[in-house]
Amino acid sequence: MKRFIILFTLLATASIVYGQRSQKAASAWLIQPSYSYLFSGGDMENRFGDFMGVGLGVGYKTANNWIVSVDAQFTFGNNVKNVGPLLNTMLTKKGNILNETGNYGDIDVNQRGWLGSLDVSKTFNFLSVNPNSGINLLFGAGGLWHYINFNTPGKDIPQVMGEYDKGYDEMSGGFMLKQSIGYVYLSRNRRVNFKISFEIMKAFTTNYRKFSYSTGKPVTGTMNDFIYGFKAQWILPIYGTQSTGGNHYYYD
């Protein structure tokens, strides 16, 4: 019985290897909506905690499993640190904020931002279910922007409305480097296609607001911001017509 199991395993493995050798990956355009759960690091950790991102990527995959793509994400979260010191110039002794009528006002403080990059990746299809799937390594470069968003439900706190919020929002941005490792799965029937990855990004950012109302001082210096976390992408592949030339291209 054991010999039969071993023989069956060897035959199945050989069949898979032979099948992959006789098949070739197909080129395709890839549309990739995404969701990310991210964490702050470096100087950015002093301002924000964890946050989320939703985005869209568009890429082209070659028959050699190289992928060139552009990716953009909108980031958002409610984990903003050091809100008290940031708004200290407008708070009462009890830590409340007054609206334009002299009553206590409501204010929500959130994180907002954007990520954008040009990426190049390679999918290695060893031990994968088909030639279009496998471990994916990605490198990219682009830009990172983030700021503190003030939402006043009553629209009655002029201290952080209009042009005044620029003295407190600490909008920052700069050049970003990006790398990730993940797994790409493109199914035989095209119905299930996705990518799961772990990303690390480093950005060299500066504060676009040259003066801070909270400190009463000019803002100078460059920050080293880190972002890391998990990203899930649903992939919509658009395959073109393939010229087989005697070979079987794997896109059915």
Q: What is the pLDDT of residues 67-90, one digit of tens each?
A: 999 999 999 999 999 888 888 878
Provide the pLDDT for residue 207: 92
Comparing C-alpha atoms, which of 177, 168, 172, 178 is closest to residue 221? Answer: 172
Provide the pLDDT for residue 242: 53
Provide the pLDDT for residue 23: 62
Backbone angles phi, psi at 203, to 5 degrees: -130, 145
| Beta carbons within 8 Å of 227's beta carbon, 6+ residues apart | 38, 39, 40, 41, 44, 115, 144, 199, 200, 201, 202, 203
β-pair type (193-207, 211-212): unpaired
Which segments in the chain show pLDDT lower than 70?
1-23, 241-252
Provide the pLDDT for residue 13: 45
CB-side exposure of 193: number of CA atoms within 13 Å? 21
